[in-house]
Amino acid sequence: MTKGFSIFFILFAGWVLFFSCRKIESYPVIPEIEYKSFTLRDTIDPLGNPGKIGELLFGFVDGDGDIGLPQPDSTTTDTTNFNLFITMYEMLDGEFIKVDEDDLETPLNYRIPYIESEGQNKTLKGEIQVDFFYLIIKYDTIKYKFYIVDRALHKSNDQETDTIFFSQ
């Protein structure tokens, strides 16, 4: 029984050493994002009005794990601290033209919540979903371009959605 235990212990220790000595994958400190999908579905608001919900899904990886901003306290009125920046483009005469922010119902910049990595490897990987609510649809065909900024102010690569068609 002692010999069997010794063999088991040696095999177990070898297995632990093999998997614990694997090299940690390293990624750049500049965040990278990857567009995954944009889905559009019908909805009804609380007052019974028809509308649409768009769901933007994208993946991210950040080598030093400094994605997201802390929640401001209740006395702060500063709304300029965003870290997800989205620009909308409308198709006019076969070309996408940037939509002026003043023409939008709601601003398109968002605040990704504070995310903290754990352990020695600070790399963060994940997916982020952003929901868009369209109660008044004044565009036939649009697309979005977007990027994120981490806490060290590193700007990610730009990504864009597929063409989004609204059917009236």
Does residue 63 fall inside a structural domain? Answer: yes
Does residue 151 fall inside a structural domain? Answer: yes
Q: What is the DSSP letter of 98?
A: E
76: helix, coil or strand?
coil
- State the pTM of this model: 0.77
In the predicted model, what is the mean pLDDT of the chain?
Answer: 83
Q: What is the DSSP letter of 22?
A: S
> Which pLDDT tens digit goes with each residue over 118-159?
777 788 999 999 998 887 778 899 999 999 999 999 999 999
Does residue 57 fall inside a structural domain? Answer: yes
Does residue 6 fall inside a structural domain? Answer: no
Does residue 1 fall inside a structural domain? Answer: no
SS (H, E, C) 97-155: EECCHHHCCCCCCECCECCCCCCCCCCEEEEEEEEEEECCCCCCEEEEEEEEECCCCCE
Does residue 19 fall inside a structural domain? Answer: no
CATH number at residue 40: 2.60.40
Residue 127: what pLDDT?
94
Does residue 16 fall inside a structural domain? Answer: no
Domain interval for residue 66? 26-165
Among the listed residues 146, 54, 34, 38, the one whose alpha carbon sits nearest the alpha carbon of residue 105: 54
> Which pLDDT tens digit goes with each residue over 46-56?
888 888 899 99
Q: Do the beta carbons of residue 145 and residue 86 sit within 8 Å?
A: yes
As a whole number of Å, the end-to-end CA separation of the chain is 76
Number of domains in the chain: 1
Does residue 10 fall inside a structural domain? Answer: no
